[in-house]
Structure 1
Amino acid sequence: MSTKKLKSPFRYDIVGSFLRPKALKEAREAFAKGLVSKEELTQAEDQAIITLIEQQKAAGLHAVTDGEFRRRWWHLDFIAGLNGITVYDFQTTAFGITTEAQGTYVSGPLSFADNHPFIEHFRFTQKHAAPILAKQTIPGPNMIFLDSLILSKQYNEHPVYDSITQFKADLIETYQAAIQAFYDAGCRYLQLDDTSWGGLFDERFREMITANSFDPDQLLIDFQEITEKCLENKPDDLTITFHFCKGNFQSHWLYNGSYDKIAKNLFSIEQFDGFFLEYDDERSGSFEPLKELRSQRIVLGLITTKNGNLEDPSTIVERIKEASQFVPLEQICLSPQCGFASTHEGNHLTEEDQWKKIALVKEIAKQVWQDA
């Protein structure tokens, strides 16, 4: 079936990231040690992405990504390329393991850099994806608001904005410029990955937000308004989706809680064409919050990427039917719950497991929907 006749997000779809192949991991490690040049690393990335795109096509996907193969982190690499952002190294235990990590903070006025590397990265993906649709993923704006300002020790010690109002205005303008830049480069399927919303229902993070002199309930309104304004100039022929999970670092998660508290504000953002939501375990709660959905599609992340165990197709079909009690089946799609490698390390499963998961998503979707 031609992709042009299908509506995105698709009945069977993907979040975006894939496990990095061994050769790419080795090239990145060699580059870190100064054993290969940046050009040689880029060549390794190029080849790995071309191979991945062909694998996605062979799997029958209607839209393909670069697997986020050029990134160390699912979010930080994009944010680091913006004007007014500084990156720093630290050690974290946030995901239940002790590991080296990186963070960002707002260190100057925010703006989108005309030479942001992700634009050329997209053009490369699109060139090799043709005639299949190329999907681009970037972190949502509230990742910067929460992590790089509200919860940032560095920012709170050295604030650069006289008012939060001015910060929000610059953040919105930055994302409007980014969206337009991707569109001008030919992007017609863009996804905002934004886990920051989890901090608004996780009790531990709500306490941290309050301790930093912000009201998490007011932030629900702020997050919604910021996102709506970022999407204000969205072209009619550009699909923009939203992906949310509760953290996915080497199969570990960050947030706890259900969607009840954020559903009304999140689903009120009508400029989104669809929402990818994690639903692979009991931590996600019931499907009842989906009753707040409007006309957008909901892509149920019922297939876990945290391990290689294959789900029972009949169980997934039953869960889709359960969800259809709250939102019409016509608006429902299926995908893995997250990417397979939100960071360079990847989750605890094999590449073989990864492709079996994608095949399972397709198999189930074709069983449930005639237009899959």
Structure 2
Amino acid sequence: MTAIAALRQARVDQVGSFLRPEDLKAAFLRHARGQLSRDELVAAQDQAIAGSLARQEAHGLPFVTDGEFRRLNWQVSFSDVSGWDLWSGSWAQFLKSPDNLGQDEHHNAKGADAVLSFRTPATSRLKLERSFPLTELEFVRKTTKTPAKVTLMGPDRVCQMCDIEGSAPHYADADGFLADVVAIQKAMVTGLVDAGAAYVQIDEPSFTGYVDPATLERMAAHGEDPLANLRRAIEADNQVIAGLAGRAVFGLHICRGNRASMWHREGKYDAIAEAVFGGLNYDRLLLEYDTERAGGFEPLRFVAKGTVAVLGLITTKTGKVETVDELRRRLDEAARYIDLDQVALSPQCGFASGIGGNALSEAEQWRKIDVMMETARRVWG
């Protein structure tokens, strides 16, 4: 079995981000205030990433990520694109609220709105200036020989964030905008694979918008057809990795929002499972399953043969550490609908979608990783 084939079948996974060390967060803030040069910030990032890589290896993970330690939030993967000014105010927003950087409407544990949603217009035709994820990968590759995973915001998520009407005359409709996003992301993914990325993950929290009542209402208000949007989204994600099969592992992550231990959307997978689980040409589907918001495991019957369903049974939203027995019971429940040979285990999302991170400690974060590893050993050997 090749290294890529073995990684494709790995029984554990990690969605991408880890909690940033406090000294790294302080370095970001000093840089934003003009008190630390860009080179000094990069040096702080390098040091923090090297430490995280060593710790991931020590805990036995089959691949490593840079923890997204160079990002203000997870969406930065699509930041160095001219014509897309979502980031023009990011540093200012960070200065205003360094522990609560985000772009979307989210809900806290009581369901209250925390941040208002908005869309950003394109100011010109999109053009890739620099692949931010490639910079991330290059440092990981020169620092460790362990296989590297890189994460990118998916094309449908970018499209959902765009004010298409406000993008004229550069874009007349969402189809034209999405086509350019796909072309850019295809180039980024190809560059990552050429540079030795073993595992590339596309993040598409947008998919849960097609079952979330509030999002469906917004689509209707804009005259959009959710089913047509969903079909277009699946095709776009498949185009991003077309022609690259076998050269790396490709995963697609679906969640309901994660910033600062909050969530963005609600809704079960049932209504979209057949189209999404059966229609995506990805090796691994990383699925949030840590709360009742995700519903039951019945939709897993639609996961295509040969695709691994990575069940996000471990929450990153709280510090309560799951037990091996709890996770095994939930895996047994899932086995009623999908063979466990087609299943893996992971946290439901990253531990820090934004630089502030979620409401748990680093110690709790690593205890969750250890419980995941032990559960996998007991279930799969």
> TM-score, length-normalised on structure 2?
0.90
- Give secondary structure in 2 for the equivalent of 1:6: helix
CA–CA distance in structure 1, aligned partners of residues 351 and 11 of structure 2: 19
> Which residue number in structure 1 is paired with residue 82 of structure 2?
83
CA–CA distance in structure 2, aligned partners of residues 319 and 260 of structure 1: 18
> Which residue number in structure 2 is paired with residue 139 of structure 1?
153
Q: Which amino acid aligns with 1:157?
A: G
CA–CA distance in structure 2, aligned partners of residues 174 and 229 of structure 1: 11
> Which residue number in structure 2 is paired with residue 204 of structure 1?
214
Kindly report which structure 2 residues correspond to 1:165-176, keeping only aligned pairs within 5 A, or say none.
Answer: 165-176=175-186
Q: CA deviation at 1:233?
A: 2.0
Q: 1:271 to 1:112 in 2, by over 3 A?
A: farther
CA–CA distance in structure 2, aligned partners of residues 332 and 78 of structure 1: 28
> Is the Cα–Cα contact under 8 Å of residues 143 and 196 in structure 1 kept in the other structure?
yes
Give the root-mean-square deviation of aligned CA atoms: 2.1
> Which residue number in structure 2 is paired with residue 42 of structure 1?
42
2:357 is the counterpart of 1:342: no
2:138 is the counterpart of 1:126: no
> Which residue number in structure 1 is paired with residue 266 of structure 2?
256
The superposition leaves residues 198-226 of structure 1 with CA deviations (integer Å, 9 ceiling, x where unpaired) of 11110110010111121112111111111
Q: CA deviation at 1:186?
A: 1.3
Q: CA deviation at 1:117?
A: 2.9
- Give secondary structure in 2 for the equivalent of 1:54: helix
> Which residue number in structure 1 is paired with residue 338 of structure 2?
327
> Which residue number in structure 1 is paired with residue 98 of structure 2?
none
Q: Which amino acid aligns with 1:169?
A: A
2:193 is the counterpart of 1:156: no
> Which residue number in structure 1 is paired with residue 99 of structure 2?
none
CA–CA distance in structure 1, aligned partners of residues 140 and 176 of structure 2: 35
> Is the Cα–Cα contact under 8 Å of residues 104 and 264 in structure 2 kept in the other structure?
no
- Give secondary structure in 2 for the equivalent of 1:133: coil
- Of the candidates 267, 278, 281, which is equivalent to residue 268 of structure 1? 278
CA–CA distance in structure 1, aligned partners of residues 132 and 229 of structure 2: 31
CA–CA distance in structure 1, aligned partners of residues 47 and 380 of structure 2: 35
> Is the Cα–Cα contact under 8 Å of residues 300 and 337 in structure 1 kept in the other structure?
yes
Q: Which amino acid aligns with 2:77?
A: F
- Give secondary structure in 1 for the equivalent of 2:165: helix
> Which residue number in structure 2 is paired with residue 63 of structure 1?
63
2:232 is the counterpart of 1:222: yes
Q: Which amino acid aligns with 1:308?
A: G
Q: Which amino acid aligns with 1:182?
A: L
Q: Which amino acid aligns with 1:277?
A: L
> Which residue number in structure 2 is paired with residue 111 of structure 1?
127
- Give secondary structure in 2 for the equivalent of 1:62: coil
CA–CA distance in structure 1, aligned partners of residues 104 and 302 of structure 2: 35
The superposition leaves residues 71-90 of structure 1 with CA deviations (integer Å, 9 ceiling, x where unpaired) of 01111x12221232112547
> Is the Cα–Cα contact under 8 Å of residues 298 and 333 in structure 1 kept in the other structure?
yes
Q: CA deviation at 1:97?
A: 5.5
Q: 1:41 to 1:104 in 2, by over 3 A?
A: farther
CA–CA distance in structure 2, aligned partners of residues 270 and 116 of structure 1: 24
CA–CA distance in structure 2, aligned partners of residues 15 and 36 of structure 1: 30
2:376 is the counterpart of 1:365: yes
> Is the Cα–Cα contact under 8 Å of residues 80 and 104 in structure 1 kept in the other structure?
no
CA–CA distance in structure 2, aligned partners of residues 140 and 5 of structure 1: 24
CA–CA distance in structure 1, aligned partners of residues 51 and 345 of structure 2: 25
- Give secondary structure in 2 for the equivalent of 1:272: coil
CA–CA distance in structure 1, aligned partners of residues 119 and 230 of structure 2: 23
> Is the Cα–Cα contact under 8 Å of residues 83 and 122 in structure 2 kept in the other structure?
yes
CA–CA distance in structure 1, aligned partners of residues 4 and 166 of structure 2: 51
CA–CA distance in structure 2, aligned partners of residues 59 and 195 of structure 1: 28
Q: CA deviation at 1:227?
A: 1.4
- Of the candidates 299, 303, 311, which is equivalent to residue 322 of structure 2? 311
- Give secondary structure in 1 for the equivalent of 2:336: coil
The superposition leaves residues 12-35 of structure 1 with CA deviations (integer Å, 9 ceiling, x where unpaired) of 111110000011011111111111
Q: 1:6 to 1:236 in 2, by over 3 A?
A: closer
Where do 5+ consecutive residues of structure 1 fail to align?
Answer: none
- Give secondary structure in 1 for the equivalent of 2:253: strand
The superposition leaves residues 156-212 of structure 1 with CA deviations (integer Å, 9 ceiling, x where unpaired) of 234221344332322221221111111111112100011011111101100101111
> Is the Cα–Cα contact under 8 Å of residues 19 and 347 in structure 1 kept in the other structure?
yes
CA–CA distance in structure 2, aligned partners of residues 268 and 281 of structure 1: 23
2:244 is the counterpart of 1:234: yes
- Give secondary structure in 2 for the equivalent of 1:17: coil
Q: CA deviation at 1:92?
A: 6.2
